[in-house]
Amino acid sequence: MSIPTEPMGSIPRPRYLLDGMAEHAAGRLDSAGLTRLQERAVSETVSRLEALGSPVVVDGDQSKPSAYTYPLTGLANLAPDGVVIPYADGHTRQLPRLTSGPFTYGTFAQTYLRAALKVASRPVKQTVVAPSFLSLLYPADSISGYSREAFLSDLANESEKEIRGCLDAGADSVQLDYGHGRLALRLSPSGELLRDFIALDNEVLGRFSPAERARIGVHTHPGADQDSVHSLDVDYTGLLAELFRLKAGNFYLQMASEPEPSRALKVASEYSADDQRLFIGVTDPIDPRVETAEEVEERVLEAASYISVQRLGTCDDAGFAPYADDTSTSREIVFAKIEARVRGTRMAAEKLGL
């Protein structure tokens, strides 16, 4: 037995891909040319992860415009003035606003998965956006002829189709991004919005068998865009006390950047179920300093004092570039952090006699 360790998802895009995306947007590079650059970036990313000894690999979101809005690619029923997400450093991200129904995905994540499977020799995890995050697209003042209830039904169906499509296409596992979970407690301190999110996601997750849900995970973090967060100051325990009601088998928990990790680990241990594996964040994507393998080892051993090793895994706190234009961290630093995570996890497993 060993301790599983997995990357979270996004990795900064190489400069040639960023330049190609800009050229494509300006009409100077055709879609075929952009696809070739994306395929090159995916191949290089997967190969690098495998060379570092990562037991599970991801495509690094190389072909996604962002980890959150990729399903909206090509949709015409959107306006740009949707929900604004503020970050601690003052920058913001704004979602589009749905203007009419029905709601459908323009792109499904299995498209990205198939490209990664072509070049990977190890199991591939596919990251997807949680339906609850996309529920923020629906405007507060409603849409004439298309109720919120109809939208949520369409959204749940599209999300199920995506997750099932990834599992059927050969994903080792599927991971739902849940960075908006902690954010929900900022937007709605009563917890009502978070409970609505969980209810919607459980509507989707409940459509899968127990064996399928064992391959589905949820990743929570306080934001990690342009080296800034949107909700790190929100009490983590308020989220963790609700999070494990989600019908998922794996939970990826930001912890390296947490001010009081022991407090959060204790709550995670108390509220999680015996059949839920907890992947603990041991590297901080916002900290430009590369963690040492020894630091990672120490964080794993601390987690093991709260969580049984049979349920323990490790991960990065979050993806390193959730939006394609996020160049705040270099690819070399990212791969160095991942190498430290893999080595440190292995060292901790040996110290624990695994």
Asked if 91 and 226 touch (Cβ cutoff 8 Å), the reply is yes
Q: Over the stretch 214-236, which tens digit does the pLDDT of each residue have?
A: 999 999 999 999 999 999 999 99
Q: Would you state the structure tokens that stand for residue 6, as one six-digit string?
A: 């997995």
| Cα–Cα distance for residue pair 273/283, rounded to 1 Å | 25
Q: Over the stretch 65-77, which tens digit does the pLDDT of each residue have?
A: 999 999 999 999 9
Residues, the chain: 354
**pTM listed for this prediction:** 0.96
pLDDT number for residue 13: 97
Average pLDDT over residues 48-57: 97
β-bridge pairing 250-253 and 216-220: parallel
| Cα–Cα distance for residue pair 323/61, rounded to 1 Å | 9
pLDDT number for residue 1: 60
Q: Over the stretch 166-175, which tens digit does the pLDDT of each residue have?
A: 999 999 999 9
Asked if 183 and 134 touch (Cβ cutoff 8 Å), the reply is no
Instruction: Tell me the pLDDT of the chain averaged across its residues.
Output: 97
As a whole-number percent, the residues of the chain with pLDDT over 90 amount to 99
